[in-house]
Amino acid sequence: MLLLVGLHTGAGSGAEGSREPSGPENPPVVIGQPEEQIDPALVRRAQRGDAWSLDALVRALEPYLGRICGAIALQAGDDALQDTMIAIIRNLGSLRDPLAVRGWARRIAVREAVRTARGGRVVPVDPEQLMAQLPASRDDLSGVEVRSVLEQLMPEQRAVLVLRHLDDIGEQEMANLLGVARGTVKSRLSRARAVFREQWSS
């Protein structure tokens, strides 16, 4: 099932006047579909320091990483996205497989967004526990203002939410992304899910 998402500009950039208008009047963006593959030749040229390819790579990654940073870091999303792009460009030489650039960039974005949202501190969490707090299906999102719910969650919880809905990432990959071990506590999962649903619908 497709999830249609209306764009909201991340707050706190200080340069709103120069931007394209955003918000509910913009056409919604379809997510839950495969994103366009980034040309590996472009990535290789960028790795060699080609100025035009670096610019093109940043432009190609921005929409996807902007959704991750915006959903996790909220008001600090713009700062998180800038730090993410800087980390990507500085470390691009260490990327061995250019075809894997999107997943590699996603890992950096999650790390930077959680760090920024926590004011520089990274706190490992149990992704099983966080996954439990998600709605059972995307249908549960109907009619809900996501941002108001996101603001009540911890950054790591927001990371799980956005990764689940952007890429449908599995629990093990989520555990790897967040740098924590995978565990299972069924009773806590169902109780936490119930708590989240109550919060979501309130």
Partner 1 sequence: MVLVSWPVARLDRIARLRALASGFQGGALHEAVLDAPFDDAWAWLSDLERTVPDFDEDVARLRIIRREPHPEGGERLRIHTRNTAIVLWMPTVLDAHLASGWCWMATRPLLYVIGMAAEPEGDRTRFAHFEGLAFQAPRLLQPVLRPVLAASRWRHDRHVPRDLAAIERHFRSD
Give 63's contacts (C-beta < 8 A, 6+ positions apart).
Answer: none
176 in contact with partner 1 (CB under 8 A): no
At 39, list the tokens. Answer: 């040309």
Our finding on whether 18 is near partner 1 (CB under 8 A) is: yes
Half-sphere exposure of 63 (CA within 13 A, CB side): 12
86, 99, 123, 195: which one contacts partner 1 (CB under 8 A)? 86
Any contact of residue 24 with partner 1 (CB under 8 A)?
yes
Q: How distant, in Å, are the alpha carbons of 44, 49, 96, 101 from that of 91? A: 13, 12, 11, 11
Which residues, 6+ apart, have CB-to-CB distance to 44 below 8 Å?
98
Which of the ranges 56-64, 123-131, 172-180, 185-193 carries the binding residues for partner 1, by CB under 8 A?
Answer: 56-64
Task: Tell me, by CB under 8 A, how many residues bind partner 1.
Answer: 59
Cβ at position 127, least distance to partner 1 in Å: 21
> Contact residues for partner 1 (CB under 8 A)?
1-10, 13-15, 17-19, 22, 24, 28, 48-52, 54-55, 58-59, 62-63, 65-67, 69-71, 73-74, 77-78, 80-82, 85-86, 88-90, 92-93, 138-139, 141-142, 144-147, 150
